[in-house]
Amino acid sequence: MKPTILLTGKTGQLGSELHRLLPRLGDLIAPDRKALDLIEPETIRRIMHSMKPQLVVNAAAYTAVDAAETHESDALAVNAEAPHLLALEAKEIGATVVHFSTDYVFDGSKNAPYVETDPPNPLNAYGRSKLAGEQAIRDSGASHLIFRTSWLYATHGRNFLLTVLRLATERQELKIVDDQMGAPTCAADLAAATTTILAALIADAKSQLISPHLSGTYHMTAAGQTTWYEFANAILDEAARASRNLPWLASATNGRPLLAARVLPISTEEFRSPARRPAYSLLSNARLKETFGVTLPPWRTQLQGCFSPEHFPADPPVAISSR
């Protein structure tokens, strides 16, 4: 089977990695926002009708967590209404939807990794919009895989890795939150694992791309846990050791030296931000491993991968066991 795949969000952190990998699985159609604006229902319908993809990979999202507090309807339009329509259209043509969601659907009151069946309770508007998107896809009846991930970053886009590196060229001291626990996940590793899973499903596919019992929600994050403070320290350690010739690093630092000698831990209370964030948002990846035989590397290994000259491996680094 060589499916037609519709990818949204190809300019994003995750979408651009998927855009690189998905052509090996099928015929990829990846319209940018100009060609497929997800706030335009008619455009979604027209593209789904004319392309008739077997697989819809939705990597597009409204991801500005703080801005969503004052623009909740915009977040809902992209994160809930558009996925709902994509899923309804997918259901009609028998396509499978692959969608990404977030650890921010949880409130962080647990102190052991969240499993997929734990009750969500988002603390912020972004989390509410992502939860509504998940629910809309489930309710559509379309075959789907919802992958919840966390603390996503890449060597491009807007993220914590690039912010820390930029600030480290401007300041001698950085103050970073040390009381939120999570798993920073690199978009390249997430895309590689997603591609590995889809490759195995496509290879096994009979009349349907995925059998109904696999349809559902899975947690997919880096292994291990850390805080933003520890993550910032690790970023600066890796950057200090890395070759200054890495193009993305040169661009992130604007070619300037790293000044920051000290990272100071602060509390969430001290770092005021418009959106509340969960204090603890580790996601158990056991279901992903049991179902697909896939585990993502530890967060530190993923970070080191970014600083390696072979940042973009030719093949996905995770192996899938036979189901």
Ligand X SMILES: NC(=O)c1ccc[n+]([C@@H]2O[C@H](COP(=O)([O-])OP(=O)(O)OC[C@H]3O[C@@H](n4cnc5c(N)ncnc54)[C@H](OP(=O)(O)O)[C@@H]3O)[C@@H](O)[C@H]2O)c1
Residues that bind ligand X (CB under 6 A): 8-9, 11-15, 33, 36-39, 59-63, 78, 100, 102, 130, 149-152, 157, 187
CA distances from 263 to 132, 166, 182, 317 (A): 37, 14, 18, 32
Residue 172: how many other CB atoms lie within 10 Å? 9
Q: Are 227 and 293 in contact (CB under 8 A)?
A: no
Measured from the CB atom, is 188 or 294 closer to ligand X? Answer: 188
User: What residues does 262 pair with on adjacent strands?
Assistant: 173
Measured from the CB atom, is 59 or 86 closer to ligand X? Answer: 59
Q: Are 302 and 222 in contact (CB under 8 A)?
A: yes
Name the minimum Å distance from CB 257 to ligand X: 28
Measured from the CB atom, is 243 or 273 closer to ligand X? Answer: 273
Name the minimum Å distance from CB 101 to ligand X: 6
Question: Catalytic pick from 126, 153, 218, 280?
Answer: 126
- The whole-angstrom distance between residue 94's C-alpha and the CA centroid of its chain comes to 25
- Cα–Cα dist 166/105, whole Å: 29
Name the minimum Å distance from CB 265 to ligand X: 21
Measured from the CB atom, is 63 or 253 closer to ligand X? Answer: 63
Region at 151 (left for phi over 0; alpha for psi -120 to 50; beta for the rest)? left
Name the minimum Å distance from CB 243 to ligand X: 26
Helices 125-140, 82-93: inter-axial angle, 10-degree rounding? 10
Name the minimum Å distance from CB 40 to ligand X: 8
- In the bound state, the residue with its beta carbon closest to ligand X is 12
Measured from the CB atom, is 221 or 253 closer to ligand X? Answer: 221
Q: Which residue type, as a one-letter code, is found at position 99?
A: H
Name the minimum Å distance from CB 31 to ligand X: 8
Measured from the CB atom, is 151 or 218 closer to ligand X? Answer: 151
Q: Which candidate, 209, 221, 185, places its Cα nearest to that of 98?
A: 209
SS3 string of 211-235? CHHHCEEEECCCECCEEHHHHHHHH
- Assess whether 229 carries a catalytic annotation: no
- Cα–Cα dist 90/192, whole Å: 24
Q: State the catalytic residues.
A: 126
